[in-house]
Amino acid sequence: DGGITQSPKYLFRKEGQNVTLSCEQNLNHDAMYWYRQDPGQGLRLIYYSQIVNDFQKGDIAEGYSVSREKKESFPLTVTSAQKNPTAFYLCASMHRATDTQYFGPGTRLTVL
């Protein structure tokens, strides 16, 4: 089946630790995106990538880092510099012809 997968579904982290969230897609989409969602708020863009080996900061990139070494993969690292990392993290890829984004199931990160 074609789609976007994210792992893990739930992640617990101690303060001061870096963690990496996985995002993989087999839709052959060039563009991939990372968002975070907090209760009662819309999705906010963290980073995005239009092609392999290229990525751009979104609206709230501080404390995060990404890489795009393969078309299928766009992992997100939440660093210890991120002051309030507890959130629901969503990865998406975009079909260029329709500007439509498709989302993975998300990762819920909780900092203990």
Total number of residues binding other proteins (CB under 8 A)? 26
Q: Would you say 15 or 59 has its CB closer to other proteins?
A: 59
d(CA 74, CA 72): 7
Q: Is 104 in the site for other proteins (CB under 8 A)?
A: yes
Q: What is the largest CA-CA distance in the chain?
A: 42
Distance of closest approach, residue 23 Cβ to other proteins, in angstroms: 12
Q: Classify 72 in phi/psi space as left (phi over 0), alpha (psi -120 to 50) or beta.
A: alpha
What DSSP assignment string belongs to 63-84?
TEEE--SBTTB--EEE-TT-S-
Q: Is 23 in the site for other proteins (CB under 8 A)?
A: no
Q: Is 20 in the site for other proteins (CB under 8 A)?
A: no
Q: Is 98 in the site for other proteins (CB under 8 A)?
A: yes
Can you give the binding site for other proteins, defined by CB under 8 A?
Answer: 31, 33, 35, 40-45, 48, 50, 56, 58, 88, 90, 94, 98-106, 108
